[in-house]
């Protein structure tokens, strides 16, 4: 079994943003030269997540709206530390911070409409995602 590690870096324009990273993950898989295995995609910041779903604007807006309803900006105990991003931490918890994806025949084995998104909830600064691929 072999392993491969790479990183994607982000500096989003907006505080909250969904970035389709499917192509970047596929590029990492090509570099890894692994035919059968698993691909871990993990946000390395506690205010960002990984979301696998359809690349459809209405759905993406519905998802962000849902997160706003569940964890709206406001006063959180976390803000007593001097931070102002308590809602971003909760949104990340609701989204999840990583996805493990199957690799079959040297390609991501995604469903017909599945895409991989970096979900940013406290952006406008440098952040990263780790891609770890293992297999043969």
95: closest CA among 111, 118, 124, 76? 118
Residues 101 and 85: their CA atoms lie apart, in Å, by: 29
pLDDT digits (tens, 9 = 90+) for 51-82: 999 999 999 999 999 999 999 999 999 999 99
Residue with tokens 């102002």: 84
Give the predicted TM-score (pTM) of the model. Answer: 0.95
Q: What is the pLDDT of residue 126?
A: 95
What would you report as the CA-atom Rg of the chain, rounded to the nearest whole angstrom?
Answer: 16
Mean pLDDT rounded to a whole number for the chain: 97
User: pLDDT class for 20, splitting at 50, 70, 90?
Assistant: very high
Domain ranges of the chain: 2-135
3-state secondary structure at position 77: helix
Q: Tell me the CATH architecture of domain 2-135.
A: Sandwich (2.60)
Contact 91, 71 (CB under 8 A): yes
């Amino acid at each position: 079994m072999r392993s491969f590690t790479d990183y994607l870096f982000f500096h989003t324009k907006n505080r909250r943003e969904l970035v389709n990273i499917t192509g970047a993950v596929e590029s990492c898989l090509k570099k890894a030269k692994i035919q059968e295995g698993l691909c871990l995609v993990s946000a390395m910041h506690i205010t960002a997540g990984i979301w696998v779903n359809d690349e459809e604007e209405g759905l993406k807006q519905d998802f962000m709206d849902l997160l706003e309803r569940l964890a709206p900006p406001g006063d959180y105990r976390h803000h007593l530390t001097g931070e102002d991003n308590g809602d971003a931490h909760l949104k990340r918890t609701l989204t999840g911070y990583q996805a493990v994806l199957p690799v079959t025949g040297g390609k991501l084995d995604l469903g017909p409409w599945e895409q991989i998104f970096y979900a940013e909830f406290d952006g406008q600064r440098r952040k990263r995602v780790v891609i770890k691929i293992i297999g043969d």
